[in-house]
Amino acid sequence: MVREDTSSSFEEYFWRDIDVNGKVVLDAGTGFGYTTLEIAKRLSTSELKGKIVSVDIDSESFKSARKLLENAGLQNLVTFVKADLSSMPEIGNAQIDVVISTATICAINSYADRVTKALSEFYRVLKEGGQIVLSDECPLPKARFAEEKVAVMRWQLIKAISDLLGDRHINEVEPEDLEFIARLVGFGECRYTIFKGEAITERRMNHFTKKATEMIAKMNDSNLRNAFSDYAKKVVETFKREEGIFVPRYIFHARK
């Protein structure tokens, strides 16, 4: 059994036994750049510095990440690479010490077997003894408690619109399945824990509203547009009335 109970905070468990001093760290999924920035901060205070390779399939992500790094004076620690995480020929074998990925596994899993391919790539680019730290939301098709209602409504709406538009949407992965895949491609010393979801912030709800509005506008059927717009407003109204928390998150560690 690799699931652990812990009294540690999310951050403490995430960084447990992870040494970035003088290491080459792959941020798998740049996104908004917050994880890249956090790694850079840790490298900047380490004795031997090290460097970051921040990878994303969408080069637009690099703009916000560069801005965050420049504001912190840490841009020299990072190299950005546009690549699909399931196929990274730009990165050679055994070049990376630590692979870190946050809120990205679910996006990779929008394509069949891509998580297996991505973990195979993580294994390939890692040096012997290298580590992976992966974090994402657990699947939650239905709210178990009232405080999870807004988070589930939010994801159900986005996924439903994506399906109607013919777009692929994120598919969360159970940590037990992630462990199976990790062991399948060669990783060992697997362990994970699950944390209660954090509070939903107004900033995150504003991001949801913006994204939902943009997606709804692409729908050709006016009746569908109106129905989904009404439901999006219902999500926001529920949040204002009841607030809520995100679904549980896991942190997964393994070693090559």
Instruction: Give tens-digit pLDDT for 195-217.
Output: 999 999 999 999 999 999 999 99
- Residue 101 maps to a domain: yes
- Residue 1 maps to a domain: no
pLDDT above 80 for 67: yes
Rg of the chain, C-alpha, whole Å? 19
Please give the helix or strand (H or E) that residue 128 lies within, else none.
strand 126-137
Q: Longest Cα pair distance anywhere in the chain, in angstroms?
A: 60
Rounded distance between C-alpha atoms, residue 189 and residue 212, angstroms: 40
**Three-point CA angle 253, 255, 256, nearest 5°:** 150
| Residue 112 pLDDT | 74
DSSP 13-38: HHHTT---TT-EEEEE--TTSHHHHH
| Residue 223 pLDDT | 96
Sheet containing strand 249-255, strands side by side: 78-82, 51-56, 24-28, 96-102, 126-137, 249-255, 188-195
Tokens at 167, concatenated: 């777009």
Residue type, 47: E
- Residue 20 maps to a domain: yes
Do residues 25 and 132 lie in contact, with contact meaning Cβ atoms separated by under 8 Å? no
List beta partners, residue 134.
101, 252
Give residue-wise pLDDT tens across range 88-122. Answer: 999 999 999 999 999 999 999 888 789 999 999 99
| Residue 141 pLDDT | 87
Q: Which of 8-12, 99-103, 111-115, 147-151 has the lowest mean pLDDT?
A: 111-115
From the list 23, 10, 4, 255, the residue with the least C-alpha distance to 133 is 255
- Residue 4 maps to a domain: no
Do residues 13 and 86 lie in contact, with contact meaning Cβ atoms separated by under 8 Å? no
Expressed as residue numbers, the domain containing 61 is: 10-255
Tokens at 253, concatenated: 């560690």
Rounded distance between C-alpha atoms, residue 72 and residue 90, angstroms: 27
Q: What is the mean pLDDT of the chain?
A: 95
- Residue 94 maps to a domain: yes
Q: Please count the structural domains in the chain.
A: 1
- Residue 2 maps to a domain: no
Please give the helix or strand (H or E) that residue 247 lies within, else none.
none
Rounded distance between C-alpha atoms, residue 21 and residue 31, angstroms: 24
- Residue 3 maps to a domain: no
What is the domain-level CATH number for residue 132?
3.40.50.150
Rounded distance between C-alpha atoms, residue 134 and residue 28, angstroms: 9
